[in-house]
Amino acid sequence: MRASETFTPQLPSNVAYQRAKTLAADWLPPTALAATAIGAWEAAVRVLSVPAWLLPPPSSVLAVTWNSFGLLMGHAGTTLLEIILGFTLATVCGVSLAAGIASSRLLERSIYPFVIASQTVPVITIAPLLLVWVGPEITSKVIVVAIISFFPITVNLVDGLRASDREMVDMFRTLGATKRQVFLKLQTPSALPYLFSGLKVAAVVSVIGAVIGEWVGAQGGLGWLMRVSAPQLQTARVFAAILVLSVLAMLLFMAVAGAEKWALRNYPRSNTSRR
């Protein structure tokens, strides 16, 4: 090495370190905020001597969650089955409906207004009718989940199918592509980000749909457990069920986000995407 040269140490490129740094940057702020809120909740309940039946401290909620873990997981399995079946039904119906609306002006004019109008009716008013029509079994809950979940899937996919570059569509047609080929080769791939956006929203609201269905009438599930625990002043158990429902919603969201990442792994990134 020449005397005039100075030695500058080079830090090795550590992929694991960079991933850990990115993970910490993503999760540290919400984790700190959640810890602060939980700590304030615990302190406020104890300082103000709030009765446990009115507002239990987080420590009591965690204790009930641990002691009733088997009970909670049993009812969580029922709720999860309703969510998966309803979410699958909503996805199939939403994708099919969106494809028809985007492909046919007649379907758009005749069906799309009813799709929008369907969301003006509160689901809580439909659930009792479904209970009368199909009974208290799992079918009524699956339908409620599908009703509340299909709208974001349909609307987002319709917008995605319409968002195709008109110049690309004209080029495909100039090259002799049929309407079906334009739909499958151009519109569908470009609409995938919109579809997954709708699926992520639907995955979260599907949990709400399952709880509504179980709250109105059911023989099991976390919503049913909350409904029977509240009149018995088992407030900590209600919060424990809410905690499990929140975890279910986050896991469903992460599952859809993981599927999105895999499906769009070769999708071109925008200039504004995070690196």
More confident residue, 218 or 8: 218
| 8 A C-beta contact, residue 108 and residue 99 | no
Percent of the chain with pLDDT over 90: 44
| 8 A C-beta contact, residue 128 and residue 217 | yes
Across the chain, what does the average pLDDT equal? 84
User: Residue 225: pLDDT band by 50, 70, 90 thresholds?
Assistant: very high
pLDDT in tens, 184-212: 777 788 889 999 999 999 999 999 999 99
Q: Which of these, 205, 211, 200, 203, lies nearest to 76 by C-alpha position?
A: 211
Residue 23, pLDDT > 80, answer: no
pLDDT in tens, 89-124: 999 999 999 988 888 888 888 888 888 888 888 888
Percent of the chain with pLDDT over 70: 89
pLDDT at 11: 47
Residue 275, pLDDT > 70, answer: no
pLDDT at 78: 93
Under DSSP, the state recorded for 232 is T
CB atoms within 10 A of CB 187: 22
- Select from 1.10.3720.10, 1.10.10.10, 3.30.360.10, 1.10.8.60 the CATH code of 56-261: 1.10.3720.10
Cα separation values, 263 from 19, 163, 191, 196, 257, Å: 21, 19, 12, 10, 10
| Calpha distance 157→186 (Å, rounded) | 14
Q: Which of these, 39, 218, 68, 31, lies nearest to 142 by C-alpha position?
A: 218
pLDDT in tens, 126-146: 888 888 888 778 899 999 999
How many residues comprise the chain?
Answer: 275
Residue 258, pLDDT > 60, answer: yes
pLDDT at 266: 77
User: What is the helix (H) or strand (E) element at residue 250, kind and residue range?
Assistant: helix 235-263
pLDDT at 244: 95
| 8 A C-beta contact, residue 227 and residue 249 | no
User: Residue 272: pLDDT band by 50, 70, 90 thresholds?
Assistant: very low
Burial (Cβ within 10 Å: 0-12, 13-18, ≥19) of residue 59: middle
C-alpha dihedral sign at 71, 225, 141, 254 = negative
pLDDT at 29: 81
User: Residue 274: pLDDT band by 50, 70, 90 thresholds?
Assistant: very low
